[in-house]
């Protein structure tokens, strides 16, 4: 990363590389993606790296929000194994709202200054989307909500959708006069059953 940031800041492949580094927080990624976003002389690289930094900070801010909640012993061991005690302590002490505000500002900058730049897929292939399209999809809408409140809203919507799927299935069985649901009924129920938002 040091060599890339020192000698290859204008290399067209660097923006695509930054877009692969948005999911796992680490101090070296913090520094590398920020360096490319701020110092590359190539506009396309700078735009893609700025989007990557926005995505990274959004992910990291949301992750730090979860770290503020108590974890059980197993979760704690996993976290320590992944991040080490020093960096995990830094993450827990960090201000997620600040990261999310910066991410939002960076999303706005990408939209305003680099919106016409073509996005790059994780495998390095050009996408049909522009960076503005990705910003529209990825930017966190509205004010930063309380994580517990946000979960409660998602959970309530999910439960309501499950009840609706159950009612539709029962009505279909009753109409068909079936005591036990047939294969077609089961398939229809599975298709109507809602997905938890994070599962895609």
Domain positions in the chain: 2-144, 145-200
Report the C-alpha gap between 101 and 19 in whole angstroms: 20
d(CA 54, CA 58): 6
Give 109-154 pLDDT, tens digit per residue.
999 999 999 998 766 677 888 999 989 888 866 544 455 555 666 6
**pLDDT tens by residue, 89-100:** 999 999 999 999
- Can you give the C-alpha Rg of the chain in angstroms? 22
Phi, psi torsion values for 36, nearest 5 degrees: -65, -45
* Residue partners of 45: CB distance under 8 A and separation at least 6: 9, 10, 11, 12, 14, 15, 36
CA angle 68, 71, 73 (to 5 degrees): 150
- Determine the average pLDDT of the residues in 161-165: 77
Which pTM value belongs to this model? 0.67
Compute φ and ψ for 25, nearest 5 degrees: -70, 135
| Residues 4, 14: Cα–Cα separation, whole Å | 8
What is the pLDDT at residue 199?
41
Phi/psi for 117 (5° steps) reads -70, 140
> SS3 for 144?
coil
Helix (H, G, I), strand (E, B) or coil at 159: helix
CB 38 within 8 A of CB 98: no
State the distance between the two ends of the chain, measured CA to CA, in whole angstroms. 32
């Amino acid at each position: 990363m040091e060599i890339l940031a020192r000698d290859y800041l204008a290399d067209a492949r660097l923006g695509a590389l930054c877009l692969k580094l948005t999911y796992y927080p680490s101090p070296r990624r913090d520094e590398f993606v920020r360096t490319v976003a701020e110092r590359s002389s190539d506009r396309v690289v700078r735009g893609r790296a700025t989007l990557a930094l926005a995505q990274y900070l959004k992910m990291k801010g949301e992750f730090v929000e979860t770290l503020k909640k108590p974890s059980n012993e197993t979760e704690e061991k996993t976290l320590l194994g992944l991040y080490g005690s020093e960096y995990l302590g830094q993450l827990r002490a960090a201000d997620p709202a600040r990261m999310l505000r910066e991410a939002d500002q960076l999303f706005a900058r990408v939209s305003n200054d680099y919106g016409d730049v073509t996005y790059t897929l994780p495998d390095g292939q050009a996408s049909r989307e522009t960076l503005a399209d990705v910003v529209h999809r990825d930017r966190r809408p509205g004010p930063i909500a309380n994580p517990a409140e946000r979960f409660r809203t998602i959970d309530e919507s999910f439960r309501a959708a499950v009840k609706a799927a159950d009612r539709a299935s029962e009505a279909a069985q009753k109409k068909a006069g079936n005591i036990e649901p047939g294969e077609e009924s089961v398939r229809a129920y599975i298709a109507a059953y809602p997905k938890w938002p994070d599962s895609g």
